[in-house]
């Protein structure tokens, strides 16, 4: 039984490099450390090459997107479980050992998808602890409801995931017609739908909240994904609607239907209603200029906010009409993907 710690890294700080040195000391019979560096910084690369450890698998590559770096790093992993580590966060060696023991105990149990523990959340003015509750339920709807009720950052993304499930989820991610910042939540949605999450009573992961602590800074990070996709930042106003609709369509898709036998409609409805409520009520309006895009988004909001029932097919067509204003080819790609999934 082996856990692969996967660290796609671009930062050049000493603290980012130190994470690789720290985890390279893990027992190679239980763990492997995948470090895929795309920083193109020679000083950093020279330090990483000094790590002489059988635990480490180091890949030095040209610069690429963070998403591509993560997908390619996953392909290098060979463990039974995969644990992603952001290079500005921290993993506890003792916590990882507890997860490894838990993995051994649950070996052969097909109901288990992920293993995790408690999280330390580092903020500018305070440190707090966070732990999910109820994610080990045998009922998928209860797992999803517990996850949504936590109303926290997507800490579940940073957990030990069965390798086959991680491969499935990231293969899906690689096919997405656009890549936006909330897509890690779709990954967690798949984790919760396809299996239970078991937890040990120990801190495993320390999460640096950073820019996500401030609304203006978090909006800026979200909007950068739209700019990178070639879209005006005004489409950020649709972020919660995108997440609501995509998650619901994913749950009702043949892709997920081929993996489970239970009725996914309650999960789809639960996911959609929670995120649609955020779309109707959360403020993502600041910094948006008046344009044909913002006018179309406002009409879309008014139309669907007044609907007592949601027809996902009609909603998808309406969303694509709004996308078409700025990106005709992208709107077609988006519709083709989500209508045939």
> Each residue of 29-85: pLDDT tens digit?
999 999 999 999 999 999 999 999 999 999 999 998 888 999 999 999 999 999 999
CA gap 334, 329 in Å, rounded: 9
CA gap 25, 54 in Å, rounded: 9
Does 157 share its domain with 284? no
Instruction: Decide: 307 and 279 in contact? Cβ < 8 Å.
Output: no
CA gap 180, 324 in Å, rounded: 17
pLDDT value of position 288: 58
Does 56 share its domain with 194? yes
Asked if residue 284 has pLDDT above 70, the reply is no
Phi, psi dihedral angles at 124 (to 5 degrees): -60, -40
pLDDT value of position 307: 82
Asked if residue 203 has pLDDT above 90, the reply is yes
pLDDT value of position 125: 87
**Which domain, by its residues, includes 81?**
3-212
Does 67 share its domain with 117? yes
Can you say whether the dihedral through the CA atoms of 11, 13, 18, 19 is positive or negative? negative
Asked if residue 293 has pLDDT above 90, the reply is no
The stretch 157-172 carries a mean pLDDT of 96
**Residue that finishes a domain, picked among 212, 242, 260:** 212
Does 89 share its domain with 202? yes
User: Could you give the number of structural domains in the chain?
Assistant: 2
Which CATH number is 195's domain given? 3.90.550.10
Output the pTM of the full model: 0.93
With tokens 């893990």, the residue in question is: 26
Does 186 share its domain with 253? no
Distances (CA, A) of 304 to 61, 217, 248, 273: 46, 29, 16, 12
Does 132 share its domain with 250? no
The stretch 106-112 carries a mean pLDDT of 93
Does 82 share its domain with 219? no
Average pLDDT, the chain: 93
Asked if residue 323 has pLDDT above 90, the reply is yes
What would the pLDDT profile of 141-162 be if each residue is shown by its tens digit? 999 999 999 988 899 999 999 9
Does 171 share its domain with 226? no
pLDDT value of position 219: 87
pLDDT band at 265 (very low <50, low <70, confident <90, very high): very high
Does 173 share its domain with 256? no
Does 262 share its domain with 195? no
Does 159 share its domain with 282? no
Rg (C-alpha) for the chain, rounded Å, is: 20
The stretch 270-298 carries a mean pLDDT of 81
3-state SS, residue 323: helix
**Residue that finishes a domain, picked among 189, 212, 235:** 212
**Residue that finishes a domain, picked among 179, 212, 245:** 212
Instruction: Decide: 276 and 306 in contact? Cβ < 8 Å.
Output: no
Helices (H), ranges, 195-311: 215-228, 239-251, 254-257, 265-281, 292-305
The stretch 317-328 carries a mean pLDDT of 96
pLDDT band at 289 (very low <50, low <70, confident <90, very high): low
Does 145 share its domain with 187? yes
Q: Which residue has the higher pLDDT, 122 or 283?
A: 122
């Amino acid at each position: 039984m082996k856990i692969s710690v996967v660290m796609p890294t671009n930062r050049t700080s000493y603290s980012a490099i130190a994470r690789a040195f720290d985890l390279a000391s893990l027992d190679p019979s239980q763990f492997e450390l995948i470090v895929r560096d795309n920083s193109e910084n020679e000083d950093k690369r020279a330090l990483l090459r000094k790590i002489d450890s059988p635990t480490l698998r180091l890949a030095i590559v040209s610069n690429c997107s963070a998403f591509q770096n993560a997908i390619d790093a996953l392909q290098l992993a060979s463990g039974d479980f995969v644990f992603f580590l952001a290079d500005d966060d921290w993993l506890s060696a003792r916590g990882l050992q507890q997860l490894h023991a838990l993995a051994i105990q649950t070996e052969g149990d097909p109901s288990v998808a992920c293993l995790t523990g408690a999280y330390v959340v580092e903020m500018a003015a305070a440190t707090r602890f966070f732990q999910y509750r109820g994610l080990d339920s045998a009922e998928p709807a209860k797992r999803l409801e517990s996850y949504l009720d936590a109303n926290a950052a997507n800490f579940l993304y940073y957990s030990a995931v069965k390798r086959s499930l991680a491969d499935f989820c990231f293969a899906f991610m690689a096919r997405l017609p656009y890549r936006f910042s909330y897509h890690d939540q779709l990954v967690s949605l798949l984790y919760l739908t396809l299996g239970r999450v078991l937890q040990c009573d120990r801190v495993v992961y320390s999460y640096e909240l950073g820019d996500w602590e401030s609304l203006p800074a978090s909006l800026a990070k979200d909007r950068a994904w739209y700019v990178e996709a070639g879209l005006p930042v005004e489409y950020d106003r649709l972020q919660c609607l995108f997440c609501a609709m995509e998650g619901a369509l994913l749950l009702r898709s043949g892709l997920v239907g081929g993996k489970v036998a239970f009725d996914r409609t309650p999960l789809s409805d639960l996911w959609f209603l929670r995120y649609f409520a955020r779309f109707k009520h959360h403020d993502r309006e600041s910094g948006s200029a008046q344009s044909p895009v913002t006018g179309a988004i406002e009409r879309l909001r008014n139309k669907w906010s007044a609907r007592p029932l949601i027809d996902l097919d009609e909603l998808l067509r309406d969303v694509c009409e709004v996308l078409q204003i700025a990106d005709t080819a992208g709107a077609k790609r988006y519709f083709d993907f989500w209508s045939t999934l």
